[in-house]
Amino acid sequence: MVKFEQVKGFLFDLDGVIANTSAYHAKAWHQLADELGVTWTEDLGNQLKGVGRMDSLNLILKYGGKENDYTEDEKVKYAAEKNDNYLKLLDTLDKSEILPGMEDFIKEISDQHYLISLASSSKNSPLVLEKLGLAQYFDEKVDPATLKHGKPDPEIYTRAAEVLKLKPEECIGLEDASAGVKSINGSGAISVGIGDPKVLSEADINFNNTSEVTLQNIAKAMDKKKVLDR
């Protein structure tokens, strides 16, 4: 792994890393799973984290053994219904739903002139960033509609580094989802997993929650890891 001093950029997931919007995605998917007669479990919720809209619907149908029950047109209709319900939940979204410490962290890295890009699979991410009042900190955003493959494929994190004109190795990616950590690792960037370390065991660095995410803690964890890797 590179030294902390060699890091030049940060690649951010959004839902579940910057704001608590992953809970809203889960709520809207849970609602649709009920409608489709698929039993909602925590495991299914974890599998959906970080996964794009149609891939999420396909995962839910597969989980319920219903993968062949619907036409493509019907699936498009259900995915749109989920998105309408998600957008309703976003109606009242504001700064107060930024996860603890994340606004300070983003300001800190911006003040220190690190480059910052967004690597969210969500087509709603520009709206969410605006509502949170954080859009101005992002130098670049990857548009998920331009990608061939969703997370866990590395494409989104490879692109998130590229749009900053950096090598993935010079970047740190932050994720709350197992699929996202896999995507960061595949790109060659350093992965920070935020949340249950058992679910995110593949991350280079683990934090239990967003309050622990500071430049100082990242530097400390990278130093420790270098010693362990030796």
Among residue numbers 74 through 113, which ones bind ligand G6P (CB under 6 A)?
A: 83
Provide the strand spans (E) within 151-189: 171-175
Residue 188, CA distances (Å) to 13, 77, 137, 163 in order? 16, 37, 24, 15
Across the strands, what pairs with 45?
A: none
Smallest distance, Å, CB 182 to ligand G6P? 13
Q: Given candidates 46, 47, 117, 122, which one binds ligand G6P under the rule CB under 6 A?
A: 122
The size of the interface with ligand G6P (CB under 6 A), counted in residues, is 16
Among residues 77 and 197, whose Cβ is nearest to Mg ion? 197
> How far is 218 from 139, CA to CA, in rounded Å?
21
CB 204 to ligand G6P: min, Å: 20
Is residue 91 flagged as an active site residue? no
Identify the three-state secondary structure at position 171: strand
Query: How far is C-alpha 70 from the geometric centre of its chain's CA atoms?
Result: 28
From 35-43, 90-98, 119-127, 195-203, give the range in contact with ligand G6P by CB under 6 A: 119-127
Residue 151 beta carbon to Mg ion: minimum distance, rounded to whole angstroms: 9
Q: Which stretch binds Mg ion (CB under 5 A): 15-23, 36-44, 131-139, 157-165?
A: 15-23
Q: Which of 93, 119, 156, 177 binds Mg ion (CB under 5 A)?
A: 177
CA distance 21 to 39: 22
**Token match 């396909």: residue?**
58
